[in-house]
Amino acid sequence: MRLLLAGLLLAGCAAAQAASIENLKSFLQQTTSAKARFAQIIVDKNLKELQRVTGTMQFQRPGKFRWEYHKPYEQIIVGDGAKLWIYDKDLNQVSVRKLDQALGNSPAALLAGNNEIDRIYTLTNLGNQEGLDWLEAVPKAQDNAFERIRLGFGQGGGLEAMELRDAFGQVTIIKFAGLERNPKLAPESFRFTPPKGADIITE
């Protein structure tokens, strides 16, 4: 009886792992564009809150995305397929760099990049926690800004949360709301023209 129960538990764990990882692969394969509202919280290794911001995000694969931070400050981050633009409204400053060099194996590359997820990350199932199916993606390359990324999927297979941990123990928690998959997005959403008078820094 114990052997049978153990076998059933192992089979259940394997199925859960396959389902959880399949959620991510299915999301990437079936989602060519998306938009959502988000809330982003950054905490230090002692779980002390360092920052809390809200905004909206859009992406269109491959390589195009737009993140807009609305409160408490305004910032726009645009990937146009070739370049990454970061505009800080308060400073009236624009930073621009080549997109592939800027993204690397970052979370933006994970969502807006290609489908080569197994080549870039080692994936591990974390099971169901607080109603979400979680998995962990650890970059195979060492030159990544984040040590590990956790992704949480809801019952319908939609991405609802991300947690990003860096080498210093700092964690960025992003919760998505109103996620729309495969909406028709305006091409100009992924173009950026620096405002008149803005300082432009090319990296």
Q: What is the pLDDT, as a whole number, of residue 1?
A: 43
Residue 163 belongs to a domain with what CATH number? 2.50.20.10
Q: What is the pLDDT, as a whole number, of residue 68?
A: 93
Q: For the residues of the chain, what is the DSSP string, one character each?
A: -HHHHHHHHHHHHHHHHHHHHHHHHHHHHH-SEEEEEEEEEEE-TT--EEEEEEEEEEEETTTEEEEEEEESS-EEEEEESSEEEEEETTTTEEEEEEHHHHHTT-HHHHHHS-S-HHHHEEEEEEEEETTEEEEEEEESSS--SEEEEEEEE-TTS-EEEEEEEETTS-EEEEEEEEEEES----GGGG---PPTT-EEEE-
With cut-offs at 50, 70 and 90, classify the pLDDT of residue 3: very low
CA dihedral 14, 16, 22, 27 (to 10 degrees): -170
* CA 171 from centre of chain: 13
Looking at the structure of the chain, the number of domains it has is 1
Q: What is the pLDDT, as a whole number, of residue 115?
A: 61
Q: Is the peptide bond before 139 cis (omega within 30 degrees of 0)?
A: no
Structural contact between residues 59 and 112, judged by C-beta atoms closer than 8 angstroms: yes
Tens of pLDDT, residues 103-161: 655 666 667 766 667 777 888 999 888 889 999 988 887 766 788 899 999 887 888 99
Tens of pLDDT, residues 38-83: 999 999 988 899 999 999 999 998 889 999 999 888 999 999 989 9
For residues 60 and 31, give the distance between their C-alpha atoms in angstroms, rounded to a whole number: 9
Q: What is the pLDDT, as a whole number, of residue 108?
A: 66
Which domain does 111 fall in, by range?
Answer: 2-202
